[in-house]
Amino acid sequence: MEQYIDMHLHSVHSDGVHTPTALVAMAVQKGLRAIAIADHDSVDGIDEALAAADGFDLEVISAVELSVEYQRFQDIHLLGFCIDHRDPAFREKLAEFRKRRDDRGRAIVTRINNRLARQGRRSIDYEEIARSAAGALGRPHIAMALIARGYAHDMQDAFVQYLIPCNVPKRYFPMAEALAEIHRIGGIAVLAHPPTITPDRMRLGGLVRELASMGLDGLEVFSNSCFEDTIIFLESLADELGLIMTGGSDFHGFEDDVEMGSGRGGLAVAYRLVTGLKTRLSDRKKESG
């Protein structure tokens, strides 16, 4: 009997709405065999998830999702799987990024409050939003505060009316540094939802080939951004370059149309991809060892 997994989930420690414990309970209820909580620039939820999964037939894979830049591409998302999430130097780097992320969040809220004042509306409170975030504050947390006040109908409306016009640029990891850091802490580096980087397959293929030469280990082939023809393209690219394949829903909990383990309805990621991940990890240890 085929077992299924979801290798791309977010918790309250970045821009998700569920605790790691709640995500584990949902995965168990859905009969998943493995999950990875890949919070943005945060590993604070991993130990909680590992503890919550104890006693269940559910594997929790330590993971993180880094915001990366490379050449003209910004906000590339790079997943690190099977990392040593307790590594002090890595946690220190993430803490610095989260501080910059929080500073960015505060600046965005200030801009939004200026906009609200011009509209004759009450301001939203940054500290209150930060408390609700629990971990790294992201724009969806601010959007939820706007929705709670009745200033936006839903997440999309909040972004269109406030988050996009009041945006402040993010800071990103340089790609070479991000790849090296994931490898240094024993992890496997995988490019998240590749079609969101560029819809141009010629450009995307060229980018992936460059990143593979720099040490990229895999592609997230199965995601909500991939239709059947895109999956075939990414599978072919992974085979050509000897990259592993992963997949996940990118579930945050606030979406109306995304479910853990099934994405927007057609996503089904087989456990054999975890086996491929572990094989790559084992091969790397033998090479270094």
Cα angle at 75 between 70 and 78, to 5 degrees?
A: 75
Global confidence as pTM: 0.86
Structural domain total, the chain: 2
The pair of structure tokens assigned to 55 is 């006693």
The pair of structure tokens assigned to 37 is 């909580």
Instruction: State the pLDDT confidence band at 99, using cuts at 50, 70 and 90.
Output: confident
**26 and 137 together in one domain:** no
Q: Would the CA dihedral through 21, 179, 255, 42 be positive or negative? A: positive
**79 and 213 together in one domain:** yes
Extended strands (E) in the chain: 4-9, 34-37, 59-70, 73-81, 173-174, 188-191, 218-222, 244-247, 269-270
The pair of structure tokens assigned to 246 is 């992963």
Task: Determine the structural domain holding residue 23 and report its residue range.
Answer: 4-93+172-288
Position 98 in a domain: no
Listed residue (233, 249, 229, 252) closest to 241, CA to CA: 233
**233 and 144 together in one domain:** no
Judged against a pLDDT cut of 90, whether residue 2 lies above it is answered with: no
Tens-place pLDDT, residues 253-284? 888 778 898 887 778 899 999 999 999 888 88
**143 and 206 together in one domain:** no
**70 and 177 together in one domain:** yes
**108 and 88 together in one domain:** no
Tens-place pLDDT, residues 105-141? 899 999 999 999 999 999 999 988 888 766 667 788 8
Of 163, 183, 212, the residue at which a domain comes to its end is 163
* Residue 66's CATH number: 3.20.20.140
**180 and 232 together in one domain:** yes
